[in-house]
Amino acid sequence: MTNTPPSCDIFCVVVDNYGDAGVCWRLARQLASEHGWRVRLWIDDLAPLLRLAPDYATGPVEVRSWSKPWPSHWPASDTTDIVIEAFACEPPLPYVEAMAARAHAPVWLNLEYLSAEHWVAGCHGMASPHPRLPLVKHFFFPGFAPPTGGLLREQNYDARRQAFDGPAFRRELGLPPKLPDELTISLFSYENPALPELQHAWSNASRPIRLLWPGSSETACTIGTLSVHPLPFLPQVRYDELLWACDLNFVRGEDSFVRAQWAGKPFVWQTYPQSGNAHLTKLDAFLAIHPAGAQLKAFWHAWNGQGTPDWTAFSAALPGLAEPMQLWASMLAARPDLAGQLVQFCIQRLK
Ligand code: TRH
């Protein structure tokens, strides 16, 4: 290989919501800005990306609309050294055939979903030869512990966090200054039958609760001790700031779940609902590896449809969660990040 930076195509199908676009954009941006790769992101729906990164067109990633149908012939010269398909979305067949026509086959990765389940470590890096073409696809699994692919975390994360000005952030969002005994909560969840019960508890709490609710269409209101503040859906970088500004974050899916862990604040995770209650297996696998898993379990289970959330018990446990949450964040941050590991994985295979 020459010294030219590697080229990389990332393929992303937006199945629903924001997670597919959110993960792909985060990875694409890191590969381009931190590792100098020439990255194109092929995405079949630009709408979520526009909300996550309204300035996506300014670089450093070249975003391309993955229009369907794809042209029936694709030149090998317009494929890249590395091809990443997100969540097994499969690049278009003419593109795959063009990959096989290159002098050197690209490194082809399937970036998988995040899970703390045991089997992930055994599957990370596994090779899957193409049944017909001279190509090999490797499974790249994010994860919490070696030997998985790690988690997405930008190199400038700590610097951004240190520069964060909480009071200014609140002013910019039109929020009042934080009351001395206020508990500030952010809420990002799927439809959740436990929410009305929880809101009722928050409105009869022992301290003021300010609920910051991005992307909500509710109207602002105050009921007893609860003040509800709907916020616009924030760009991805600002969403980190929201997590930093809160004492407790309700997150969901995959990417906001990871961001809440980097924030090092107590959080509550709603898993992406899956058939056969597979999401509960995912939930328990994470609780089993988290240092505060035992204290979180009852409330997290209730938030995921298994029982009624006991706010009084959970809020009493909150002060004791601060330390294990920070410990967990520092432990994870000390491990190699996903983009860095992915780069190493590819470099070893690029001849
Ligand atoms: O949106 P999600 O539910 O995404 C998904 C999808 O359901 C997807 O199909 C599934 O594969 C995946 O979960 C596991 O939740 P997630 O993953 O947390 O993604 C949300 C993204 O939106 C994340 O990048 C954070 C970002 N975000 C903002 O940028 N601004 C905001 O205001 C909010 C609330 C979120």
Q: Write the pLDDT tens digit of every residue in 204-232.
A: 999 999 999 999 999 999 999 999 999 99
**Ligand 1 atom with least separation from CA of 26:** 24
Contact (CB, 8 A) for 175 and 201: no
Q: pLDDT value at position 304? A: 97
CA of 254 to the centre of ligand 1 (A): 7
Q: In whole angstroms, give the CA distance from residue 260 to residue 241.
A: 11
Contact (CB, 8 A) for 299 and 269: no
Task: Exactly one of 20, 154, 240, 241 is catalytic; name it.
Answer: 20
Listed in sequence order, the residues at least 6 apart from 109 whose beta carbon sits closer than 8 Å to its beta carbon are 82, 83, 84, 85, 137, 138, 139, 140, 342, 345, 346
Q: pLDDT value at position 68? A: 87
Ligand 1 touching residue 20 (CB < 6 A): yes
pLDDT at 1 over 60: no
Terminal C-alpha separation, the chain:
6
User: Where do the DSSP E strands lie in the chain?
Assistant: 7-12, 38-43, 62-65, 82-86, 107-111, 127-129, 136-140, 183-187, 209-214, 221-223, 226-231, 248-252, 267-270
Q: Is 254 a catalytic residue?
A: yes
pLDDT tens per residue, range 94-112: 999 999 999 999 999 999 9
Q: Whose CA is nearest to atom 27 of ligand 1?
A: 236
Q: What is the mean pLDDT of the chain?
A: 97
Mean pLDDT of 132-159: 97
pLDDT tens per residue, range 60-83: 999 999 998 999 999 999 999 999
Ligand 1 touching residue 236 (CB < 6 A): yes
Mean pLDDT of 12-24: 97
Ligand 1 touching residue 15 (CB < 6 A): yes
Q: In whole angstroms, give the CA distance from residue 117 to residue 100.
A: 34
> What is the secondary structure of 63-108 as a DSSP string?
EEE--SSPPS---GGGS-SEEEEETT----HHHHHHHHTSSSPPEE
pLDDT tens per residue, range 156-183: 999 999 999 999 999 999 999 999 999 9
Task: Exactly one of 240, 254, 255, 337 is catalytic; name it.
Answer: 254
Q: pLDDT value at position 351? A: 67
Domains of the chain by start residue, with CATH: 7-150+336-350 (3.40.50), 157-333 (3.40.50.2000)
pLDDT tens per residue, range 266-297: 999 999 999 889 999 999 999 999 999 999 99
Ligand 1 touching residue 18 (CB < 6 A): yes
Residue 64 sits at φ, ψ, to 5 deg, of: -120, 140
Q: In whole angstroms, give the CA distance from residue 236 to residue 23.
A: 10
Residue 147 sits at φ, ψ, to 5 deg, of: -95, 40
